[in-house]
Amino acid sequence: MDTLLYLEELALIRPDNRFKAQLCLGGRTYPYEDTEALSLLHEQELAYYRKLQYKRKHSFVLGRYCAKQAISAYTRMAEPQLRQIWVQPGVFQQPVIMLPRTEPLQITITHCDHIAAAIAFPEAHPLGIDLEKIDSANVSAIESQITASEKQMIADTSLEYEAALTMLWTSKESLSKILKTGLMTPLPVYEINHMDIRQDCIVTSYTNFAQYGTVSFRIGRHMCSITHPKRTEFKVNIPEIQRLFGTLYAADAR
């Protein structure tokens, strides 16, 4: 399967404990063939795939591919059989892993256009991930959902406006995933009250969810956000991700 793939094991360091998670990012600029989907998707996933419109099929398959690569890497499957892994939608459309295992395992998935990402993590330590395209067409929609204090917070920074808005959106959506609410809760509930702009990422915190923090970073024309328990420390190799997926965007531009 000709897909750009990045895998990284994350060490989740807590004051009194340590966990691991498996990050996977994938990129592909051209559609999957149905034969490729057959080799990747569980029979239950295939039934859903066949109902999708053509444009949505590609991102669905890419998202499931990243999820299953993350799961197989986390569980250290000797010979990954991706088609045997079933990622089932829960009652709130949250992804649920259907796989015999000794350790309770969860997955968070995101996909947009020709890029997708997933993190496999232990049930004891929740995580959420989201990515969205930085697009001027989304500005008015996002502006309508942010608070006055968030607008002022953006104005007080040197961040590119569209990127900053997308960062707010992905941060909130990744938080909603960790809470398993999705975006069914009014977005002002997820209000961001602080942004710490660092060399290669932005770290945010929340007015109503002080126990969580989010790390956001650019991947080409997309913004990616990972939400985690605030007292957890971890590192993502952001420069390597940006270098690797920069080649994908360069190829897409030609």
pLDDT the model gives residue 253:
52
Per-residue pLDDT, 121: 96
Q: What's the pLDDT at 193? A: 96
User: Cα separation of 35 and 32, whole Å?
Assistant: 8
188 token code pair: 């002002």
Longest dimension (CA), the chain: 52
Q: Name residues whose C-beta falls within 8 Å of residue 180's C-beta, 6 or more positions apart in sequence.
A: 90, 92, 94
Please tell me whether the overall predicted TM-score, pTM, comes out greater than 0.85 for this model: yes
CATH fold match for the domains 1-124 and 126-231: yes
CATH 3.90.470.20 fits 1-124, yes or no: yes
* pLDDT tens by residue, the chain, 254 residues: 578 999 999 999 999 999 999 999 999 888 888 899 998 999 999 999 999 988 889 999 999 999 999 999 998 886 668 888 889 888 778 888 887 666 789 999 999 989 999 999 999 999 999 999 999 999 999 999 999 999 999 999 989 999 999 999 999 999 999 998 877 788 889 999 999 999 999 999 999 999 999 999 999 999 999 999 999 999 999 999 999 998 776 555 54
In Å, how far from its chain's centre is CA 139? 20
| Candidate CATH numbers 3.40.50.2300, 3.30.70.260, 3.90.470.20, 3.30.360.10; the one for domain 126-231 | 3.90.470.20
Identify any residues that bridge with 4 across adjacent strands, giving them in sequence order: 27
Q: What is the pLDDT, as a whole number, of residue 182?
A: 76
Q: Where are the domains of the chain?
A: 1-124, 126-231
CA distance to 51, 71, 230, 234, per residue, from 98 (Å): 21, 11, 29, 27
CA distance 67 to 123: 16
